[in-house]
Structure 1
Amino acid sequence: MEIINNTEKLQFEYTKGGEVAKLEYRFYKQKNIALVHTLVPDSMSGEGVASALAAAAFAYAKEVDKKVMVYCPFVAAYVKKNPVVREQIDRAYHPGL
């Protein structure tokens, strides 16, 4: 699954059959990356697309040495299921995640 970081739109994207799944992000005070919203079309449901988008976002955050702020409920659930990424969470904003 090829995930693209669309830096113009500030979103990670996966395209299939002309439809786009995305995980939107923002930079917070140039210190952190905030993962804001995940949207996966119904046609891609159950294929692991949202998890792949989240994994790409955490890999990117690590690459650019940014702590992660989570605003997206799906990404919060992803973090709970994938404890290896918890070290990347900004604890000042998410002490319980």
Structure 2
Amino acid sequence: RNDKFHRYELHVGGELAVISQFLDRPGHIDFTHTETKPGFTGQGLAKVLAHFALDDVVASGKRIIPHCPYIAAYLKKHEGYGQDVDWPLEKP
């Protein structure tokens, strides 16, 4: 977790491979964007980072807001986080 840049980071061989941006809100971590850097796609690294980041939020006692499409899709595929998620309202 890199609070200076408001993101979770996964490094491979000293290189930044995946980031997941967030906004730190009272009682919540709002995930806004996840990105895998060129050269690291297709290796499942975003899943590794998502799992770590979500577990970290839950352990901190905060709730998850998944505005990021990748984090939202991860949450829908992986059980165990449901009680810790506040789904954003859909736009009309």
Provide structure 1 residue ranges, at least 5 long, that are not aligned to the other structure.
none
Aligned to 1:21: 18
The separation in 2 between residues aligned to 1:46 and 1:6, in whole angstroms, is 24
TM (normalized to structure 1)?
0.80
Render the CA deviation track for 1:43-97: whole Å, top value 9, x for unaligned: 1111111111111111111111011101111111101110212221025x369xx
Please report how far the alpha carbon of residue 24 of structure 1 lies from its aligned counterpart in structure 2 after TM superposition: 0.7
Structure 2 stretches lacking a partner, 5+ long: none
- Shift in Å at residue 40 of structure 1? 0.3
State the 4+ residue runs in structure 1 displaced beyond 2 angstroms.
Answer: 16-20
Q: 1:94 to 1:61 in 2, by over 3 A?
A: farther
Say if 1:61 and 1:45 are closer, same or farther in 2 by CA, change over 3 A: same
Residue in 2 aligned with 1:80?
A: 76
The alignment status of 1:69 with 2:69, answered yes or no, reads no
CA contact (8 A) 1:61 1:67 kept: yes
Over the aligned positions, Cα root-mean-square deviation in angstroms equals: 1.8
* Counterpart selection for 2:47 from 37, 51, 69: 51
- The 3-state SS of whatever aligns with 2:81 is helix
Q: Is the 8 A contact 1:69 1:94 kept in 2?
A: no
Q: Percent identity?
A: 24
Residue 39 of structure 2 aligns to a residue whose secondary structure is helix
